[in-house]
Chain A
Amino acid sequence: MPEEEFTGQAVEVAQVSFKYNSLKALDGLSLQVPRGVSFGLLGPNGAGKTTLIRLLVGLLRPGAGTIRILGQRPSRKMAHLIGYMPQLHSLYAELSIIQNVDFFARIYRLTDKAERARRVEAAIRLVDMWTRRNDAVQKLSGGMKQRVSLACAIVHNPPLLFLDEPTVGLDPELRVTFWEHFAGLTKQGATLIISSHTMDDAVHCDYLAFMRDGKVIARGSPGDLKQATGRPEATLEDAFLHFVQRGQQNAI
């Protein structure tokens, strides 16, 4: 495919493989994500979810295959179009919430002072941490750090967001709040790629890709995936197991 050709997909991954030394993390993986949806990467630990996200944001280079983000190769030139929430909290512990979010706003070249102040406040309010904005991050609980981490990832209003296990360690109430944020973001037109290993998250996504052993074993809406099992009462867990077993049968 010529590089200029842009099909309008937010993410296009074609036949991508990646190895950590001799350990194969991704094995000829292909995936397409349309714009304006929340897209879940679901799979057990070690399925390659984090590796895939790190490739998509440009932290890693694929050993084989091609990756297009909004029609372009991941690079610094288009870095302002993406937001990234790593698995770790990834914050400056000594600094306050507002200092952290403001720092990333500046790094993303929000140079206009009034505009930056507005965006920083909006991002912190969105995760409901405004009243604690002057507290040092090291004093916060794990869930609160997650929320601040999300605020840092969205402060520049990126049209494409990569969230690596954003709901890990959140209590159920907060998890619901996070998913409300995510739904709000897609409503505004943003595309969200969210990795998770729990089916509690999966039900909230517009589309899902089930991942296992560095491959996508199934892709579709939660409803479609459940239907594929042929049983009306099937859960997403059932669907995942269904595709795992089918894959094993095909392998035999």
Chain B
Amino acid sequence: MPSSISSSGGSRMPSSQAFTIAARVIQQLVRDRRTLALILVVPLVVMTLIGLSFPEGSVLDYIAPALLATLALFFSFLLAGISFLRERSQGTMERLMVSPVSRGDIVVGYLFGFFIFALTQTLIILLFTIYVLDVHYYGDLWQIFIFQIVVITGAVNLGIFTSTFARNEFQMVQFIPLIILPQVFLCGVLWPVEQMPDYLQWLSAILPLTYAVDGLRDIMLGGKSLIDVGIELAILAGFAVLISTLAALTLRRGAAD
């Protein structure tokens, strides 16, 4: 049978297939109206409750940067992790693994696809926090946003990577407290890292949320610029690259389970 399909073409860098996958991820979520509505409404409900629960505005001002970073991590991780797991449990990942598409393209495609939604959620939270909850901040809004983009990139990749270790939804749900909760308590969200015992400080030094909280506080409370928090940004970007590479490497193992 004649086959007019060429197997050539750049497989080294993200190819058009990554965009094909991204487009499909977006298509799927857009067609699932209820999920789409939840993605948009849940951050608003959560932020309203949090905003109302703070007795004093000054406390909220202090906690807001850490909260923004934590929620960006949490929502993005959840969205990417669960959706990527579904790809495997419904068997479509098997089809992709047998196709000419590269593992890197699959991970990058998913990253692009979820990124739109994670970004929308983060933007909603950010604007709501600043304009409705009336949190006071220094620094530029666009710089806060750029910083959050780096946080989200890492979080989406972390979700994809984590889901390769889960074989079903129940297992994936168990990873949420394991991955998210320790970061909330160890990364300076609630109390300064310096007040914890040494060994916990070391642990916090390898957790990405530590750098997200530090950087965002410096910008929002200290009025610093993206260049001032360059080290934090570089660490978060490095984390995103590392974790997406690991996700691509573990893909085959996961699909063949």
Size class of the contact patch on chain A? 35 or more
Inter-chain contact B5/A110, CB cutoff 8 Å: yes
Q: Does A88 contact B (CB under 8 A)?
A: yes
* Identity of the chain B residue whose Cβ is nearest the Cβ of A99 in the assembled complex: B27
Interface flag for A204 (CB, 8 Å): no
A150 CB → nearest B CB, Å: 12
Known A-B contacts A90-B94, A95-B28, A104-B95; A109 and B102 likewise in contact (beta carbons under 8 Å): no
Which of B1, B3, B7, B20 is in CB contact (< 8 Å) with A106? B20
Contacts of B4 in A (CB 8 A): 115, 157
Number of A-B contacts (CB under 8 A): 101
B98 touches A82 (CB 8 A): yes
Q: Given the complex of chains A and B, what is the CA–CA distance between A214 and B49 in angstroms?
A: 59
Identify which of residues 12-27 in chain B touch chain A, using a CB-to-CB cut-off of 8 Å: 16-17, 20-21, 24, 27
Q: Across the interface, do B5 and A92 meet the contact criterion of CB distance under 8 Å?
A: no
B149 within 8 A of A: no
Closest residue to A186 on the B side, CB-wise?
A: B1
Within 8 A of A (CB), among B207-231: none
Known contacts A88-B90, A109-B5, A157-B1; 4 further A-B pairs (Cβ under 8 A): A59-B97, A81-B3, A89-B91, A107-B100
Which residue of A has the minimal Cβ distance to B21?
A107
A152→B90 CA distance, assembly (Å)? 15
Contact in complex: A76, B1 (CB < 8 Å): no
Is residue A122 within 8 Å, beta carbon to beta carbon, of the partner chain? Answer: no
Q: Is B53 part of the binding interface, using a Cβ–Cβ cutoff of 8 Å?
A: no
Q: Is the CB of A107 within 8 A of B97?
A: no
Interface residues of B, CB < 8 Å — how many? 32
> CB distance A79 to B3 under 8 Å?
no
A94/B99 in contact, CB under 8 A: no
| Bound-complex Cα distance A91 to B27 (A) | 14
State whether A60 touches B256 (Cβ < 8 A): yes
Would B3 and A59 count as touching, CB distance under 8 A?
no
| A58 cross-chain contacts in B, Cβ below 8 A | 97-98
Complex A-B: 14 CB contacts under 8 Å: A58-B97, A76-B100, A78-B7, A79-B7, A81-B3, A84-B95, A88-B94, A90-B92, A95-B24, A107-B17, A109-B100, A110-B5, A157-B3, A158-B3
Which chain A residue shows the least CB distance to B33?
A: A94
For A77, the chain B residues whose CB sits under 8 A away are: 7
Q: Which residues of B contact A76 (CB under 8 A)?
A: 11, 100, 102
Nearest-Cβ distance from residue B251 to partner chain A, whole angstroms: 12
Chain A residues with CB under 8 Å of B96's CB are 107
**Interface status of A143 (Cβ within 8 A of chain B):** no
Tell me, in angstroms, the Cα distance from A54 to B91 when the chains sit together.
13
